Amino acid sequence: MRKSKEMSWILRGALALTFALAAFAGTGAIAHDVTKDGLKIVHPWSRATPGGVEVGVGYLKIENKGAEADRLTGGTTPIAKMLQVHQMTMTDGVMKMRHLKDGLEIPAGKTVELKPGGNHLMLMGLKQPIVKGEPFKAVLHFEKAGDVEVTFKVEAIGAPSSSDDAMEDHQHDHGDH
């Protein structure tokens, strides 16, 4: 009798754990693509920052399915003082970044990718560290489409890439970039 009662508690425990894991997996895979006025913002992601660092990065893909070009001019986020669009260029082996004050063109029918080693969003004056696994919100400003609210998924410090698919999430903690 006593033994079967124990068994039933173990089963209940296992069942509760299964549900908890299912719920966790549900929130872990962030389906956070946003579409507005023909612009599709695909998988915004960022990297965790070491303590004391005041800048962070943001990457995403923008698909312009509309008939007109638009421009990504910048944005805002509660976690930093500024969110700017930066261009990355390589001149004689020296990497330089430049604030694109007039924004980045998103041509009609084209996909523009902001990615490591290329154009990116720069968060300046971080008010708090960016923490792996803790998404943050931001509003992107487009010349024509206006404000678009997005959520950035946060990968490890130095992560070279990111994926929406939890099964393909590998650990990249070696910090080279």
For residue 109, the minimal CB distance to Cu ion (Å) is 27
| Dist. CA 25–CA 16, nearest whole Å | 14
Residues that bind Cu ion (CB under 5 A): 86, 97, 122
Six token digits for residue 36: 């507005």
* Alpha-carbon separation of residue 164 from 25, 30, 78 (angstroms): 12, 6, 23
Q: How far is the CB of 121 from Cu ion (least distance, A)?
A: 8
Nearer to Cu ion, 122 or 138 (CB): 122
The residue among 56 and 155 lying less far from Cu ion, judged by its C-beta, is 56
Q: How far is the CB of 49 from Cu ion (least distance, A)?
A: 13
By beta-carbon proximity to Cu ion, the closer residue of 16 and 97 is 97
Question: Cβ-closest residue to Cu ion?
Answer: 86
Distance separating alpha carbons of residues 100 and 120, to the nearest angstrom: 10
In single-letter form, the type of residue at position 163 comes to: S
**150/125 Cα distance (integer angstroms):** 19
Nearer to Cu ion, 146 or 175 (CB): 175
Smallest gap from residue 120 Cβ to Cu ion (A): 6
Provide the minimum distance between the beta carbon of 122 and Cu ion in the complex, in angstroms, as a whole number.
Answer: 4
Between 65 and 99, name the residue whose CB sits nearer to Cu ion: 99
- Which residue from 121, 125, 51 is spatially nearest to 81, judged by alpha carbons? 125
Beta-carbon-side half-sphere exposure of residue 160 (alpha carbons within 13 Å)? 6
